[in-house]
Amino acid sequence: MTETAQPRPIEILLVEDSPSDAMMTREALNHSKLVNRIEVVDNGEDALALLRRQGRYAQANRPDLILLDLNLPRKNGREVLTEVKKDEDLKSIPVVVLTSSRAEEDIVRSYGLYANCYVSKPVGFDELVEVVQSIRHFWFSVVTLPPGREL
């Protein structure tokens, strides 16, 4: 009898400065049957430190997916996105802009900075669960990620 390997947890970095939005997104992710670990940071500087494994984040796991709000303190989401996509070690990590903005300028600019997709946050929890489930399904069931990123 052969043992089946347990799938490794999916590592998700949520960059969100609103504690209530972070809590709702975490709860929406936890509604899935998928094993995942969610790291939450509330500003752009900490997001980049975690991604680069610097300072207090030296032991951080590399995320499989980044959920990025645009309106952040210290470094906004556009600055984080720019730095991630210019960094050879980080640019292959999918970045989903998950923000309340529906402004055409934000959408166009995010794609211009190489966001992998742009999702406007719904207001209600049930709708958020549906959106987060769709993101999870797409990125971890439909898409083939680069070597070393597959589950």
What was the pLDDT predicted at 1?
46
Instruction: Report pLDDT digits (tens) over 12-65.
Output: 999 999 999 999 888 888 876 666 789 999 999 999 999 999 999 999 999 999
Name every residue whose Cβ is closer than 8 Å to that of residue 72 and which is 6 or more positions away in sequence.
Answer: 15, 17, 42, 43, 44, 47, 80
Q: What pLDDT is stored for residue 37 in this prediction? A: 87
What does the alpha-carbon distance between residue 96 and residue 73 come to, in Å, rounded to a whole number?
18
Q: What is the pLDDT of residue 115?
A: 97
Q: How far is CA 10 from CA 13, 135, 150, in A?
A: 10, 13, 10
So where are the chain's domains? 10-141
50-101 confidence digits (pLDDT tens): 999 999 999 999 999 999 999 999 999 999 999 999 999 999 999 999 998 8
Q: What is the pTM of this model?
A: 0.88
Q: pLDDT value at position 147?
A: 62
DSSP assignment of 6-41: PPPPEEEEEE-S-HHHHHHHHHHHHTSSS-EEEEEE
DSSP letters spanning 72-132: -SSS-HHHHHHHHHH-TTTTTS-EEEEES---HHHHHHHHHTT-SEEEEPPSSHHHHHHHH
| CATH node for 10-141 | 3.40.50.2300
For 99, phi then psi, to 5°, come to -140, 160
